[in-house]
Amino acid sequence: MLKLWSMKQEQQKADNATSGPKKKKVTAAQLRVQKDLSELSLGSTMKTTFPNPDDILNFVLTIEPDEGMYKGGRFSFNFAINQNFPHDPPKVKCKEKIYHPNIDLEGNVCLNILREDWKPVLNLNAVIVGLQFLFLEPNASDPLNKDAAEDLKSNREGFKRNVRAAMGGGSVRGESFERVLK
């Protein structure tokens, strides 16, 4: 057997090492989320809510855009992070029904870093910045809600009106929306 024990051990020994019955350790995913949370820059337009403060892997992010077409609305996103984070990206869904080219009526979000461009070196702040950007620059070329994307592409002013109508709790193209205006 490889003589592990006779080899030079550089680490601190004995007096520092823990012993006794092992207790559950804070997991690598929890540690990473803890670090990411401490580095969030939420500004005045965003806030987080933790339904269970002991569980930092599940929380809600609320965004209240203060400029752009969605100004004055309040949108919340469920963040569900698994123990394979940061290998796996967080799962993010919009809780309100929204008229947006990159968010479908079920709340699925088309944001590259939530899926194809996710890397373990990215953090939660990058995701939050990405979400914020979706409200400033809805993108008709990555459509998840095809109708909304067509609308934005063909008639920007008309799209804007439809966004306001949807946010006010009206209906657009036969689909009714809930009121999200503050």
The residue (of 39 and 157) whose beta carbon lies closer to other proteins is 39
Give CA 123 to chain center in angstroms.
10
Is residue 30 close enough to count as binding other proteins by CB under 8 A?
A: yes
Determine the Cα–Cα distance for residues 133 and 46; give it in Å rounded to an integer: 13
Using the rule CB under 8 A, which residue among 73, 86, 90, 138 binds other proteins? 86
Q: Which of these, 64, 68, 146, lies nearest to 105 by C-alpha position?
A: 146
Is residue 32 close enough to count as binding other proteins by CB under 8 A?
A: yes
Is residue 44 close enough to count as binding other proteins by CB under 8 A?
A: no
Contacts of 68 (CB under 8 A, 6+ apart): 135, 136, 137
Asked if residues 112 and 179 have their Cβ atoms less than 8 Å apart, the reply is no
Give CA 32 to chain center in angstroms.
15
Is residue 19 close enough to count as binding other proteins by CB under 8 A?
A: yes
The residue (of 108 and 165) whose beta carbon lies closer to other proteins is 108
Q: Which residues bind other proteins (CB under 8 A)?
A: 1-9, 11-14, 16-28, 30-32, 34-35, 37-38, 40, 42, 47-50, 53-54, 56, 83-84, 86-89, 102, 104, 106, 108-110, 112, 114-116, 118-121, 142-144, 146, 149
Q: Which residues are catalytic?
A: 110
